[in-house]
Structure 1
Amino acid sequence: MSEQYEKYYVPAQSPWPIVGAVAMFFIAAGAGLTVMQLEQEGSSGTYMLLAGIAVLLYMLVGWFKNVISESHDGLYSPQMDRSFKQGMSWFIFSEVMFFAAFFGALFYARMLAVPWLGGDGNNVMTGEVLWPEFTSTWPLESTPGGTTTQAMGWQGLPLINTIILLVSSVTLHYAHVAMEKDNRGPLKLFLFLTIALGAVFLVLQGYEYAHAYNDLGLKLDSGIYGNTFFLLTGFHGMHVTLGAIMLTVMFIRVLKGHFSSEKHFAFQAAAWYWHFVDVVWLCLFVFVYVL
């Protein structure tokens, strides 16, 4: 009696991983040169950053196109679907660890380094020698080099952005429910609202950064507080941008009649990612803005 084996599609060698690696290299190098101000405005650092972003978008479009074509050609088996789910789960786990590292740096600065510099515990003389005038407070609004800044409050734009992301999770949930019921009208409406809310979030974050730079003197070089503030909020903004791109692709596919109530993991994966981004923002709002 012959055994029945489930087919498993093995795609041909793909250029997209190396293209993505090149894009990330240019983004990292360009961002480093721009932030460190090694060159003047409009320098090669800025161009390198923009080139990296362009290559990354090119990679996303090409890779998405290939996967969509393979799916519509019926090449994927249930085992392949399970592989996609495992891959997305591990990807989100890696993102959890990514943000955990930055939250860990924030915790270390607030709970250990700053009190230690202020002379807490057995470090009284250490504080007197290194910075006698230092007062152990958080947010740290002054540095030994004389840089002063103001803290970003949680009211106003941060609170509004928090409400926007929470509402976007609700609208995306209803879009997912509509997908499972094959209700195309509510699906398109709620998915569009989710993307629009994400775009509004990014615009308001831009206004918040302008306010921080121009009115509060809060910059990336404003000591450990400025470092942790912009690293956490900035990387989160990058993830919101990527999530919005993913949802936009899903919206275009929905308009073209893709997906069904039984087969829609691409949509589900984008929804997972968006909900993850929302949870990260809630943690960020509490530990960066409120506490």
Structure 2
Amino acid sequence: MLLRIPVFAVFWLLLAASCGQAAAQDNPAPGRVSQCQAIAQGLPHAVFASYSVPPASLATGAVDDQVRITFLGHATFFIETPGGVSIATDFSGAYPPPYTPTVVTMNKAHPSHYTLSPDPDIKYVLHGWSDVPGEKARYNLTIGDTLIRNVTSDIRSGWGSGGFEKDANSIFIFEVAGLCIGHLGHLHFELNDTQYAEIGRLDVLMVPVDGGLTMGANSMSRVVKRLRSSLILPMHRVGPPLDQFLAMFGPDFDIAYAPTSSVTVSLKALPKKPLIYVLKGM
């Protein structure tokens, strides 16, 4: 049977589909030049910028601004910037922030890391995977005072199946107030030299410590040691593996437990020695 659809109906269907895609982006500004990426003459010998000296190109007053980071649960942090941008990472809706965020980022590994029906009042919904088969998710956009970009990685598909999905996880990087803040997402495999170079410097690192649902403590600790961020915030804890993860670090790293679920960070106040800081609720 031939189904006849009026021309105006087709128009509205196409318009709704295009608006649904556009709403996730809402025409953000093109990304500015990253201050956090590696300066590399060639791989694998990448040279990273020092986190102890702010880039000269940054506005003088911006480096003193503070960013507030709150652990909401699982892999969801709530980032609040000096310019009023709010970001919920690996947002599934299960750990709601105190108010509607400007931006949410998501990863595909499990439903606890994403939702396909976010609050329509969220202005920017950034999937860490591409909705187009065979393509990578690519972000380099400026929202308010924050540059948001990503570096993709593969994930396992099906527990114990041996298969994998290419580029289905994104390491999201938020550059704001002179800081380079990175969220590893649901990282299943150790990073390669190209990925490290694409990531660049990370002053603050959000790292899963589940002991195997992502990577084991040995593998994850190697990633953390290579990135050598000033402030390391564990997340994605399942059972006791936090202790196993912490045991991987010697005297080159400090470990402390926060009295609250929030920490306020500024470029000038970063620890001189890498600090693994366990926020309350972890």
- What TM-score do the two structures reach when normalised by structure 1? 0.23
Higher helix share: 1
More relative contact order, 1 or 2 (CA 8 Å, 6+ apart): 2
Q: Which has the larger radius of gyration?
A: 1
